[in-house]
Structure 1
Amino acid sequence: MAVKWEGVMPAVTTKFDSNDELDFITFEKNIKAQLDAGVNGIILGGTLGEASTLTASEKKSLVRKTLEVTNGRVPVIINIAEQSTKDAIQVAKDAEEWGAQGLMLLPPMRYKATDHETVVYLKEIAKSTSLPIMIYNNPVDYKIEITHDMFEELLGECSNIEAVKESTRDISNVVRLKNRFGDRLKVLCGVDTLALESMVTGADGWVAGLVAAYPRETVAIYKLVKAGDLEEALRIYRWFLPLLELDITPQLVQNIKLAEVATGLGTEYVRPPRLPLQGAERERVLAIIDNAMAQRPTLVDYTSL
């Protein structure tokens, strides 16, 4: 299945049970809810998916299960966030063998590579696979920025680099990327709290986090913005914003899994060293979720937009 880098692409959580094993029953329920809401792809093993804690066997199982559940309705994409170029290339090759239809690719992990090192790393991975690639550009959290000049070099040599998950937190960067690269580089917002603004300024899609708990509201905002109904999109977005802010903290996994519990689409189990929220912070997050649930908006029929 060809990947169209557009629309809402959930960076889904990885579901665990009380024994720290993959929970495919809850996972399947969540994926089906995403499909029913009208998402455009499923992204596995991202930051929200607790990528750094997953084994190769678990990644394979997640890809295979997701392909089974999606059954060709949307592309399945897996994130690559490895410690070495060699390991990253192996994951890219494995993902293609497992049946994944696209890759999301982070710069080198645990080492602040130079611009040259970063470009070489990304090129070598891209040239090792035929799968289409979305670069995850998040200098705030991962301390390496892929500049426009770096993208120029990458796009000139790697035709399968097709998109960027734009997470610089600079809203005007959407316009700069579009001005420089046009449709050669699809731009998807990677920061929940900037999603509506990004789409208004030309982003092609939204790699979303709170969609894991609220798939219909997320897709509705995207569809309404693209249809030009900003008033209705803003109505939902204003309600959504306190929840979306739960995605931009180090405890985003715990936060969003609590929200999934509230909507019946997940459990609170995280993989250590992460632990469920405790004390005052847990109460603060629960209050935000409870307030949102009490005021959850009625949605217009966005599916035909």
Structure 2
Amino acid sequence: MNVQWEGVMPAVTTKFTEQDTLDLDMFLKNIKAQIGAGVSGIILGGTLGEASTLEENEKEVLVKSTVEEVSGKIPVIMNIAEQSTRGALKAVRNAEKYGANGLMVLPPMRYKANATETVTYFSEIAKSTSLPIMIYNNPVDYGIEVSLPMFEELINFSNIQAVKESTRDITNITRLRNRFGERLSILCGVDTLALESLLAGADGWVAGLVCAFPRETVSIYKWAKEGKHKEVLDLYRWFMPLLELDINPQLVQNIKMAEVATGLGTENVRAPRLPLQGGERKRVQEIIDAAMACRPVL
């Protein structure tokens, strides 16, 4: 499948039962809602997907189940976040075997690689596969920035096609566009900067709160691209308190609480994560309740 790196691509949560097994019924209910809202792809195994706690057989089930559910309508993208090049190459082979259509690749985990090491890491992955790749550039959370000179080397690989832009610097979108034109697709990776990024020329949005609010998220993307400024600003301002739940260490718990409110998930997380408790739970629930009380009719 030829992946079009544009539109809204949800980084979906992984659904668990109370017995800590995969909850495929709820997972596929959510995937159906994403497809129905008009998303452009599904991203599995990211931070929101609690990938670091998943067993390999669970990743296989999630990819295969999603591929079957989307039935070729949209691409299924597997996240690659490993500690070693060797581990990443194995994860890529598995993603191919399970039927993924593309990859989102993080820099090496834990070890803070320098520029040469990081470029070499991405290059080895690109050489190992024909799958299209989106590089996840998030120096805030992962401590490694993929700079413009590094991208200059990486675009020698035709399957490195996109960047998930999470530097928190909106002007980096313009720098990327000025340097590389349309060679790299640019997708915003920070929910609270989505509209600003789209107006600055981003091609799409790798979204988090879309897991609970797919129609609202897709509407923001479409209205921004259609120039419906008043409509999109009104919707974005309503959405912002919810979007801020994504830029928080407990983003998984936050978004799963929002999924409960919209009937698209449960609060079950995998330890060491635990559902929110006490004052923080009350704060998050109040944000969700306030948003639901005046949820726009689309």
TM-score normalized with structure 2 length: 0.99
Q: CA deviation at 1:93?
A: 1.1
Q: CA deviation at 1:77?
A: 0.3
Within 2, Cα distance between the matches of 1:160 and 1:21?
A: 35
Q: Where do 5+ consecutive residues of structure 1 fail to align?
A: 300-305
Letter in 1 for 2:169: D
Report whether the alignment pairs 1:174 with 2:165.
Answer: no
Within 2, Cα distance between the matches of 1:148 and 1:60?
A: 34
What are the superposed Cα offsets for residues 101-157 of structure 1, whole Å, 9 maximum, x if unpaired? Answer: 00000000011111111110110011101000000000000111000100001112x
Q: Residues 65-80 of structure 1 correspond to what in structure 2 (within 5 A)?
A: 65-80=65-80
Q: 2:125 — aligned with what?
A: 125
Letter in 1 for 2:245: L
Q: Residues 194-213 of structure 1 correspond to what in structure 2 (within 5 A)?
A: 194-213=193-212
Q: 1:161 — aligned with what?
A: 160
Q: 1:216 — aligned with what?
A: 215
Q: Where do 5+ consecutive residues of structure 2 fail to align?
A: none
Give SS of 1:127's match: helix
Within 2, Cα distance between the matches of 1:33 and 1:69?
A: 11
Within 2, Cα distance between the matches of 1:48 and 1:229?
A: 30
Q: CA deviation at 1:55?
A: 1.5
Q: CA deviation at 1:284?
A: 0.1
Q: CA deviation at 1:178?
A: 0.7
Letter in 2 for 1:89: L
What are the superposed Cα offsets for residues 64-91 of structure 1, whole Å, 9 maximum, x if unpaired? Answer: 0001111111000000001110110011
Q: 1:294 — aligned with what?
A: 293
Percent identity at matched positions? Answer: 70
Report whether the alignment pairs 1:187 with 2:202.
Answer: no
Q: 1:281 — aligned with what?
A: 280
What are the superposed Cα offsets for residues 196-220 of structure 1, whole Å, 9 maximum, x if unpaired? Answer: 0000010000000000000000000
TM-score normalized with structure 1 length: 0.97
Letter in 2 for 1:200: L
Q: CA deviation at 1:48?
A: 0.7
Give SS of 1:217's match: helix
Alignment: residue pair count: 298
Within 2, Cα distance between the matches of 1:231 and 1:102?
A: 35
Within 1, Cα distance between the matches of 2:56 and 2:107?
A: 19
Q: 1:49 — aligned with what?
A: 49
Q: 2:61 — aligned with what?
A: 61
Query: How well do the aligned residues superpose, as a CA RMSD in angstroms?
Result: 0.6
Within 1, Cα distance between the matches of 2:59 and 2:180?
A: 33
Q: CA deviation at 1:181?
A: 0.7
Moved over 4 A (4+): none
Within 2, Cα distance between the matches of 1:105 and 1:230?
A: 33
Within 2, Cα distance between the matches of 1:16 and 1:152?
A: 41
Q: 1:303 — aligned with what?
A: none
Report whether the alignment pairs 1:257 with 2:253.
Answer: no
Q: CA deviation at 1:51?
A: 1.2
Letter in 1 for 2:36: D
